[in-house]
Structure 1
Amino acid sequence: MTFSITGRCVETGMFGVAISTSSINVGSRCPHSRAGVGAVATQNITDPHLARLVLDEMEAGYSAQEAISRITENREFIDYRQLTAVDTAGTTAHFTGTHILGTHTVHQARDCVAAGNLLSSAHVPKAMTAGFNQDPTAHLADRLLSGLEAGIAAGGEAGPVHSAALIVSDKMPFYLVDLRIDWDEDDPVAKLRQHWQAYAPQMQDYLNRAINPTAAPSYGVAGDP
């Protein structure tokens, strides 16, 4: 009931996740990243805490594969979980339990890993990694969205999706990009693309407001000179 792409930009060191699912508010549970550390997606019957644990392990110096192995070993209910991760070396890793729903598969490529469950086809993750790597010069957010859109074009889930999310970490402890469509009856991935297109021209201004408000433009609202 979920498909995602987790990736890294080798040029900038950014990490991120793009994801969509049939249930509400996927962005609150499934995509996770940490500046200078990596990115993780946790899905199927989701335990969001697992992502933080994997990121903690990677921050402690373990590779993505080592981190996932350490977190999944002998963990209760782990057979209901699906995890993906990418680390600072661009190494990717994944875990898929034995109780994952429907058609499920994973595909790893350069600096990215895509995974899904309850898919319309086992070919969806491979299409997503191809979409991600189609333009390596693009902003990571664009590349992640391209991967997600390629997954939709390849058939996506077996049923309709209703929420989607996009996160990107750069150098700050907060997300550079954190966009969500919590519920949409028709096409949350298309709405997510529209949100990114609206946000991208303002992204640096919002970052400047956090780093140095004197360098940021006014908000352009009443009472703000």
Structure 2
Amino acid sequence: MTFSIVARSDDGRLHGVAVASKFLGVGALVPAAEAEVGALATQAQANLAYRPQGLAFLRTGLGAADAVAGLVAADSGRTHRQLGVVDADGTGATYTGADCHDWAGGQAGTGWAVQGNILVGPQVVDEMRDAWLGGVDRRFPDRLLDALRAGDLAGGDRRGRQSAALLVVGRRGGYGGGSDVVVDLRVDDHPDPVTELARLLEVHRMLFERPDPETLRELTGELADEVSRLLAGLGFRGDRSELDARLAAWAGVENLEERLVPARIDPVVLAHLRARS
């Protein structure tokens, strides 16, 4: 019912899963990941116990292939399961039970595992693999999404489209540095879920990523005057001496607080302020 990619970033800092299916809320069932431990996708007649059990195996230092073997060996329904795992070292492994609905299969290599069932054919997995391998210059979440999109464009789930999800973890990479969840986005019921997932990733990036220091602009002179005027027009009035506080108050309402830097402004924040005005 599903096609997915499980992967680790080339620098070893991030693990993630991207998945799509003709199934309601696939993101609530298939992906699991833990920072600096590994990631997995459980699908077909998904055994949800694979998620905590698989991460527990990986946490002890078990490799991807051994984790797969351990999970399916203890499962009487293993012939109906499909599973992809990437461990902390980046080794990938995939498993497809003999009774998964055609077309079903997977491939794995260093840093990735791709698998799917009830697909239009093996080209879905081939295209996902090629997109992943060809995306070395892409940011990790985009690279995962590119692979998912390639599978979707190759025909994906032969029953159609419904849901998609993207999960990325990295040590202290989440909101405010207080979480390991870098990205956790789900499209539960949509006619074009992979495209919608890509849109949500862009919104997530705008709201929650920290600014690039090289692009920050000094809040002085004419720029400071403009920002002050725009804030006042939106109801955040005050003196120029209070500009940082006024900008912070507005950014908090807009959920842009992660992009604030005292006495400077992120071009993303500036563009959003101008658009809101």
> What amino acid sits opposite 2:79 in the alignment?
D
- Equivalents in 1 of 2:185, 2:254: separation in Å? 22
> What amino acid sits opposite 2:49 in the alignment?
H
> What amino acid sits opposite 1:98 in the alignment?
A
Q: Residues 221 and 74 from structure 1, CA distance in 2 versus in 1: closer, same or farther, beyond 3 angstroms?
A: closer
> What does residue range 177-192 of structure 1 map to in structure 2 within 5 Å?
177-184=183-190, 186-192=191-197
- 2:92 paired with 1:86: no
In the other structure, the counterpart of 1:119 is 119
Kindly provide the CA deviation profile for residues 45-97 of structure 1, in whole angstroms up to 9, marking residues without a partner as x.
11222122111101101101111111211422122110000012111111211
- 3-state SS of 2:181 partner: coil
In the other structure, the counterpart of 1:194 is 199
In the other structure, the counterpart of 2:231 is none
> What does residue range 1-225 of structure 1 map to in structure 2 within 5 Å?
1-172=1-172, 174-184=180-190, 186-204=191-209, 218-220=251-253
Kindly provide the CA deviation profile for residues 150-200 of structure 1, in whole angstroms up to 9, marking residues without a partner as x.
10121111121100000000103541100000001x210000000001111
Which segment is superposed worse, 38-47 or 5-14? Answer: 5-14
Task: After TM superposition, give the deviation of residue 113 of structure 1 in Å.
Answer: 1.0
Q: How many residues align?
A: 211
Q: What are structure 2's unaligned runs of at least 5 residues?
A: 173-178, 211-247, 258-277
CA contact (8 A) 2:26 2:188 kept: yes
CA contact (8 A) 2:91 2:109 kept: no
CA contact (8 A) 2:40 2:83 kept: yes
CA contact (8 A) 2:165 2:197 kept: yes
- Equivalents in 2 of 1:71, 1:43: separation in Å? 13
- Equivalents in 1 of 2:102, 2:47: separation in Å? 19
Kindly provide the CA deviation profile for residues 202-221 of structure 1, in whole angstroms up to 9, marking residues without a partner as x.
2335xxxxxxxxxxx64225
Q: What are structure 1's unaligned runs of at least 5 residues?
A: 206-216
- Equivalents in 2 of 1:43, 1:221: separation in Å? 37
- Equivalents in 2 of 1:36, 1:125: separation in Å? 26
Q: Residues 112 and 221 from structure 1, CA distance in 2 versus in 1: closer, same or farther, beyond 3 angstroms?
A: closer
> What amino acid sits opposite 2:181 in the alignment?
Y
Percentage of identical aligned residues: 29
Task: After TM superposition, give the deviation of residue 15 of structure 1 in Å.
Answer: 0.3
Task: After TM superposition, give the deviation of residue 25 of structure 1 in Å.
Answer: 0.2
- 3-state SS of 1:150 partner: helix
Let me know the Cα RMSD of the aligned residues: 1.8
State the structure with more CA Rg: 2
- Equivalents in 2 of 1:92, 1:221: separation in Å? 40
> What amino acid sits opposite 1:113 in the alignment?
A
Q: Which runs of 4+ in 1 moved over 3 A?
A: none
User: Higher helix proportion, which one?
Assistant: 2
- Equivalents in 2 of 1:134, 1:198: separation in Å? 25
TM-score by length of 1: 0.88
Task: After TM superposition, give the deviation of residue 132 of structure 1 in Å.
Answer: 1.5
Which segment is superposed worse, 35-44 or 45-54? Answer: 45-54
- Equivalents in 2 of 1:89, 1:12: separation in Å? 7
> What amino acid sits opposite 1:191 in the alignment?
E
Task: After TM superposition, give the deviation of residue 26 of structure 1 in Å.
Answer: 0.3
- Equivalents in 2 of 1:137, 1:188: separation in Å? 25
Larger relative contact order (Cα-Cα within 8 Å, sequence gap ≥ 6): 1
- Equivalents in 2 of 1:174, 1:90: separation in Å? 18
- Equivalents in 1 of 2:110, 2:42: separation in Å? 20
CA contact (8 A) 1:133 1:143 kept: no
- 3-state SS of 1:98 partner: coil
Kindly provide the CA deviation profile for residues 110-153 of structure 1, in whole angstroms up to 9, marking residues without a partner as x.
31111000000112112102112222132211000000001012
